Amino acid sequence: MNTTIEKIKKLKGEIKVPGDKSIAHRAVILNAIANGRAVIENFPMGQDCLSTVEALNSMGAKIRMNSATESITIEGVGLNGLSEPATEIDAENSGTTARLLMGLLVGQSFPSTITGDIHLCRRPMDRVIIPLSLMGAKIHSSERRGYLPIQIEPSTLNGIDYTLPIASAQVKSAILLAALYASSPTVVRENTKSRNHTEIMLNTMGATIDTRDDRIYIAPRPTLYAQDMFIPGDISSAAFIITAGLLVPHSSIVIKDVGLNSTRSGILDIYKGMGGDIQIENKEGTAGELMGDIKVTSSILRSTTIEGNIIPRLIDELPIIALAATQAVGTTIIKDAQELSVKESNRILSTVNTLSQLGADIEATPDGMIIQGPTPLHGAIVDSKGDHRIAMMAAIAGLIANGQTTIKNSQWIDISFPGFFDTLKEISVMS
């Protein structure tokens, strides 16, 4: 599918964005192996999260979808209640599904196979395989070592004391899920803190887990209790609307009920530091998470340097931040972001190539990019090449570019933000 975007006059109004994918994946997995019944509201109906739902249903979990109310109901089967799936588990394009399920499946009493689409099968899995193997897991790659598809055999797991070599919530979560089935406690250490949704959810559902400084301790074999929850809006999805609100002149928008977890809100800190007019209103808690309304007013931005410990707090938002940097005064430098190269695409190159086609003054570096601004953008034909965030970045660029911007393969946006273009249209003022 191709979608064409034209320059607009301003953005105005209130919207909501889909529920947070990271929280949703974990809510499905943990409630499926909990005792009791849970209703999850504001569940994101994008394909990534549906892949996790379908995987758990294939193993005997009882998950009912209600698209009309954007909610799901989960009847937990308990820690040892899952059963062998009839076929291999297809994570499709979802790296979170594949990596978290690896942690869950190594603790089961049945064999399983995880695969994915052509894009996911190119993404490295060794970062999860290595620590799980240290716990005693039996994991095999049938084709290329360290990549999907992989086979998992039943095994006896032991707890480990493991320091993450990179900041990765997916790797950390896979270890914590496996630790539930181990014979002894597990300690995970982080030199740089990554998103902590798994720890929060395990704590609220009854696990014995202790987090302090750079150390996470978790005891094995807990009884988890199902928990109803409202999933906050995904700040990674809101990031595109926030950026549009800053860049399109004369704009004033409010994004309701967005997750404000401090391990995810780095983009707000960066934009405020660049001079962005962003206000947070109506803060409240939900199942251990913080959410609130984000009010954005168009702003003149200045350049910045993005590096170090803040990178894990905004890794998924770096492509759209790069677009903002093309309109900021001065030279913006993004570094320490090597992780971008192993996302749905090599997002360093994808971001640089796409923005260059639109007229940006931007160059790639081994661990990030250098962007000069402000630079007028012009419309062009660009290709998402299967990466939903690159497609959305190009769409936001089209709102400020002269002429028409056409995004080829824009259907990939539905992976994370179904209704994205309708949401834009709802707050766009054309003349």
Q: Where residue 32 sits, what CATH number does that domain have?
A: 3.65.10.10
Residues counted in the chain: 431
Q: Would the CA dihedral through 415, 418, 422, 426 be positive or negative?
A: negative
- The predicted structure's pLDDT at residue 317: 97
Residues 204 and 84 in one domain: yes
Distance in angstroms (rounded) separating the CA atoms of residues 88 and 84:
10
Mean pLDDT within 182-207: 96
- Looking at residue 23, its pLDDT comes to 97
- What is the residue range of 173's domain? 21-230
Residues 10 and 81 in one domain: no
Q: In this predicted structure, what is the pLDDT of residue 385?
A: 87
Domain end, chosen from 177, 210, 230, is at 230
Of 9-18, 143-152, 285-294, 391-400, the range with the lowest mean pLDDT is 143-152
379 shares a domain with 302: yes
For 343, the token pair is 């996302």
User: For 348-373, how does the pLDDT look when each residue is reduced to its tens digit (9 = 90+)?
Assistant: 999 999 999 999 999 999 999 999 99
Query: Considering its fold, how many domains does the chain have in total?
Result: 2
pLDDT digits (tens, 9 = 90+) for 125-144: 999 999 999 999 999 986 77
* Interval 292-351: pLDDT, tens: 999 999 999 999 999 999 999 999 999 999 999 999 999 999 999 998 877 666 899 999
Residue with the bigger pLDDT between 107 and 287: it is 107
Positive or negative, the Cα torsion across 29, 33, 34, 40?
positive
Are residues 424 and 339 located together in one domain of the fold?
Answer: yes
Band of pLDDT at residue 165, cut at 50, 70 and 90: very high
* Per-residue pLDDT, 213: 85
Instruction: Indicate the pLDDT class of residue 430, thresholds 50, 70 and 90.
Output: confident
DSSP β-ladder status, 305-306 and 277-286: unpaired
Q: Domain boundary at 230, 260, 285, which? A: 230
Confidence of residue 279 (pLDDT cuts 50, 70, 90): very high
In this structure, the answer to whether residues 225 and 236 fall within a common structural domain is no
Q: Is the peptide bond before 154 cis (omega within 30 degrees of 0)?
A: no
Long-range contacts, 130-138 (Cβ 8 Å, 24+): 131/160, 131/162, 131/171, 131/174, 131/175, 132/102, 132/103, 132/106, 132/174, 132/175, 132/178, 134/160, 134/162, 135/106, 135/159, 135/160, 135/175, 135/178, 135/179, 135/182, 135/186, 137/106, 137/178, 138/106
pLDDT tens digits along 62-84? 999 998 899 999 999 999 999 99
Known catalytic membership, residue 269: no
Of 230, 262, 280, the residue at which a domain comes to its end is 230
Among 48, 316, 383, 387, the one annotated catalytic:
316
Do both 42 and 11 map to the same domain? Answer: no
* CA separation for the pair 284, 290 (Å, rounded): 6
> Across all residues in the chain, what is the average pLDDT?
96
E strands, 46-111, are 62-66, 71-75, 89-90
Q: Please tell me the pTM assigned to this model.
A: 0.93
- Distance in angstroms (rounded) separating the CA atoms of residues 73 and 27: 11
On whether both 161 and 256 belong to a single domain, the answer is no
Residues 265 and 400 in one domain: yes
Do strands 404-408 and 289-297 pair parallel, antiparallel, or not at all (unpaired)?
unpaired
301 with 272: CB under 8 angstroms?
no
Q: Is pLDDT at 152 greater than 90 in this prediction?
A: yes
Strands 368-373 and 361-365: antiparallel
The β-bridge partners of 113 are 151
Say if residue 294 is in the same domain as residue 412.
Answer: yes
pLDDT higher than threshold 70 for residue 176: yes
How crowded is residue 357: how many other Cβ atoms within 10 Å of its Cβ?
18
Task: For residues 160 and 84, state if they share a domain.
Answer: yes
What pLDDT shows up at residue 198?
A: 98
Report the pLDDT value the prediction gives residue 344, as an integer from 0 to 100.
64
Separation between Cα atoms, residue 177 and residue 197, nearest integer Å: 13
Q: How far apart are CA 33 and CA 51, in angstroms?
A: 17
In angstroms and rounded to an integer, the radius of gyration of the C-alpha atoms of the chain is 21
Strand partners, 420: none
Token pair recorded at residue 198: 């798994």
- Mean pLDDT value of segment 206-218: 95
Task: Answer yes or no: do 240 and 224 share one domain.
Answer: no
SS3 45: coil
Clarify whether residues 276 and 421 are in a common domain. Answer: yes
